[in-house]
Structure 1
Amino acid sequence: MGFFNTLKEVMTNKPSTLREPTFLKEFNENNDKLKALEEVLKVAPEEKHKQIEQDIKLLSCGIVGEKNVAFELKNSHMPILILHDLYLKYKDLTAQIDFVVINPRFLLVVECKNMVGDIQITNSGEFIRYFKGANGKTYKKEGMYSPIVQNERHVELIKDILKAEEEFGEHRSSLIKHLVVAANSKTIINSRYAKKEIKEHIIKHDQLINKMKELVDANKDGYWFTEEKMYSIANTLLKHNSTYTFDYNKKYGDLFDNNEKLQLSNKDIMHEEPIEETPLYKELRKYRLDKSREENVKPYFLYSNLQLKALVKAKPKSVEELRKVNGFGNVKCERYGKDIVEIVNKNCRKD
């Protein structure tokens, strides 16, 4: 165990269990909005198909970009908590956030952009996109809204939420950082003339791990989060997370004669069947509570509610299968794996 983890245990009197990247809100390629758009395409009039197909293409590219970022985070080998695809609502404000990454030394808000074309950032902070043909000549250029400005607004909303929930005061606000990550490996970013404060907030996805390590090194002597505080912050943000409802008629006009058909389709797509009442869920929850009391730690130190649902869905029949469930690495599998697998197998025999 390193000095940092030893010190943390002495100060908090609680074991440090976080050794590796852990998703508390998982990345999922089976995007609900993409499924919904595909359903909309089936019932929309033909004259709207081109627009909807273009939106499906853009969304699909975005999912690929987020997958690239999720891959980097999973392979960072850093003690981080990760929340993917948050739709935060606070007072009159909302924000769709691709990733929030929480480390003892930083809270990082990541805006993932699967940018197409060459991107130039001017001295004044403008973003200009250049489209080039097969011969390398530019055939089109256009301005684009600054993703850095967009992400700065996300940061302010997160600060407001965490301050209102008394997670930390102004002195720890400096731990909140933000990055725009270009997730398309073919994207060329020309930031030659951009100011330093712009350059340091936009990177390619393959630079993300090194950037996070730089953030840790830059704050070695500053404020930091205990592991308990990391989980508390994550759960506070999840408490303010909502389901984004896409208004198809607002986007594409009054397309549907049979709104009942669309609503039924969306209901089927957007809502998972609840599993909280299943015997397996209840027994795994009881085990988590009993074990957390025995070890004098918070229940979510063992596994979060989202990870609990993932367990129920995966039903791992062995410790090796349990390792494939996100959030259950070597440490958790060694401590709790045998018990969890025994609970799963017992419930499966009952079924």
Structure 2
Amino acid sequence: MSFVKKTFLSRVIDVLKDKEELKSPVVIKHGDSIDAEIVRLQTQLAGEQLDVNRKKIEEQIKLLKIGKAGEQSLLFELTNSFLPLMILHDVYIEHKGLSAQFDFILVTRQFFLIIEVKKYYGNITVNEKGEFIRNVNRGSRTVFKEGMYSPIRQVERQVEVLQSMLVDHDVITKTPIRYAVAFANEKTVIDLAKAPKEIEDKVFRSDGIVSFIKAELAKKSPVYFKDGKMHELAAYIHGQHIDKHSIEVYEEQEVSFYEEEKVPVAATLEKKLLLLSDEDLVLKLKKFRKRLADETERKAFYIFTNKTLDGLVEIKPTTLDELRKVEGIGDKKLEEFGLELVAIIKESVDG
């Protein structure tokens, strides 16, 4: 769908004829990609014979259902907000070689709003550097702590793609695009006490979305859209959506964030002490992880998580086939640095 550039006179007439009657949300695009992907994976699962592949497919189906539940909880809050909104749920856009999967894009009278939804298990802390850390507690004790890729940076990249497309297509010139991250697990506690102000204002649980939008609407904006213009903009974005047969693939280090049973016993404070002979291997693996992270400008947990580190030390794989059995090591990591890991472990095992 292309955006038709109207003459000045036509735009004036449209403004004069436009009305301001919308009082409640309208869903312009429903989320259907997750359902389609679940069906596709279920079909694939039915024909799969290898247990290792079946396990991976079942894991993806489970995670997709969890993600869907999180987005549905936010959609419920939006549709019951009694605010004039145009809601686009589950949008995929490509522009100039860039692509982005949006959980939600909202068109309001004064701005666009992009919302990234996360349904993680555990509590979230944002430190003074803006780094996100997930904490899992049992009673009063923290039993698991791990860094995670910043969802703020993720949604900022989505803003860049949407803004580039809208500006290049002459759809907007000065309309603000705002963004937020909503955590959909109702049990999640978010600690923003030390978070930078620019992050603190944009992170909340799903039940805080309406208050956030109202606060944003109270701010000044260079634009004000009536009903017709809102619908025109929402319809344009909908027209740019591309149906994909596959959607967001969960990063291996992100998988454990979604479910309670994914919190590894080996990573708790009650885990057994490592054998003295393992300490040297742990140090070598950590050194390798840091070196690769520095070389590729990635966070260390993007190379492999502490949970995967524990698995490497416990299993001590000395072949690629054995390495494949370690949770968190998939085909991508096998290809990138599998041989190096196996060599490090084999050297340690052989003494």
Q: TM-score, normalised by structure 2?
A: 0.63
Partners of 1:139 and 1:155 lie apart in 2 by 35
Q: Distance in 1 between matches of 2:59 and 2:23?
A: 42
Q: Provide closer, same or farther for how the CA distance between residues 76 and 247 of structure 1 changes in structure 2, counting only shifts above 3 A.
A: closer
For the structure 1 residues 233 and 214, does the alpha-carbon distance in structure 2 shift closer, same or farther, using more than 3 Å as the test?
same
Alignment correspondent of 1:91: 96
2:230 maps to 1:225: no
Select 1:153's aligned residue among 139, 153, 157.
157
Unmatched tracts of structure 2, length 5 or more = 1-11, 253-351
1:21-57: per-residue Cα shift (whole Å, max 9, x none)? 0001024597111222222222222222222222222
Given that 2:101 and 2:248 are in contact with CA atoms closer than 8 Å, whether structure 1 keeps it comes out as no
Query: Deviations for 1:58-94, whole angstroms, at most 9, x for unmatched residues?
Result: 2111111101000011101111100000011112000
1:292-340: CA deviation from partner (whole Å, max 9, x where unpaired): xxxxxxxxxxxxxxxxxxxxxxxxxxxxxxxxxxxxxxxxxxxxxxxxx
SS at match of 1:131: strand
Q: What's the CA shift string for 1:110-135, capped at 9, x where partnerless?
A: 001112111111111111112234x4
CA distance, structure 2, for counterparts of residue 165 and residue 79 of structure 1: 25
Q: Identity over the aligned pairs, expressed in percent?
A: 31
Q: How far did 1:107 drift?
A: 1.0
Task: Say which SS state the counterpart of residue 218 (structure 1) adopts.
Answer: coil
Change (3 A) 1:124 1:247: closer
The residue aligned with 1:345 is none
Match of 2:309 in 1: none
Report if the CA contact (8 A) 2:155-2:180 is conserved: yes
Shift in alpha-carbon separation, 1:104–1:66, aligned structure 2, 3 A: same
How far off its partner does 1:17 sit?
4.4
- CA gap 1:40/1:119 in 2 versus in 1, 3 angstroms: same
Maintained 8 Å contact 1:119/1:189: yes
Aligned to 2:20: 16
Which residue number corresponds to residue 318 of structure 1?
A: none
Distance 1:162 1:47 in 2: 43
- Between the aligned partners of 2:45 and 2:29, the Cα distance in structure 1 is 28
Report whether the alignment pairs 1:41 with 2:42. Answer: no
Normalised by the length of structure 1, the TM-score is 0.63
* Gap change, CA 1:114 and 1:136, over 3 Å in 2: same
Match of residue 297 from structure 1: none
1:104–1:41: structure 2 CA closer, same or farther, 3 Å change rule?
same
Contact 2:34 2:247 in 1 (8 A): no
**Contact 2:33/2:247, CA 8 A, preserved across alignment:** no
> Runs ≥4 in structure 1, deviation > 6 angstroms?
none
For residues 153 and 226 of structure 2, what CA distance do their matches in structure 1 show? 30
> Do the aligned partners of 1:165 and 1:236 also contact (CA within 8 Å) in 2?
no
Q: Is the 8 A contact 1:90 1:240 kept in 2?
A: no
User: 2:79 aligned to 63, 74, 79, which one?
Assistant: 74
CA distance in 1, matches of 2:216, 2:98: 28
CA distance in 2, matches of 1:83, 1:247: 16
CA distance in 2, matches of 1:127, 1:65: 19
Determine if contact 1:29/1:63 at 8 Å carries over to the other structure.
Answer: no
Residue of structure 2 equivalent to 1:190: 191
Q: CA separation in 2, counterparts of 1:186 and 1:102?
A: 29
After superposition, give the CA deviation of every residue in 1:159-183 in whole Å (9 maximum; x if it has no partner): 11111121121x32xx211000111
State how many pairs are aligned: 239
Q: How big is the shift at 1:10?
A: 10
Counterpart check, 1:235 vs 2:235: yes
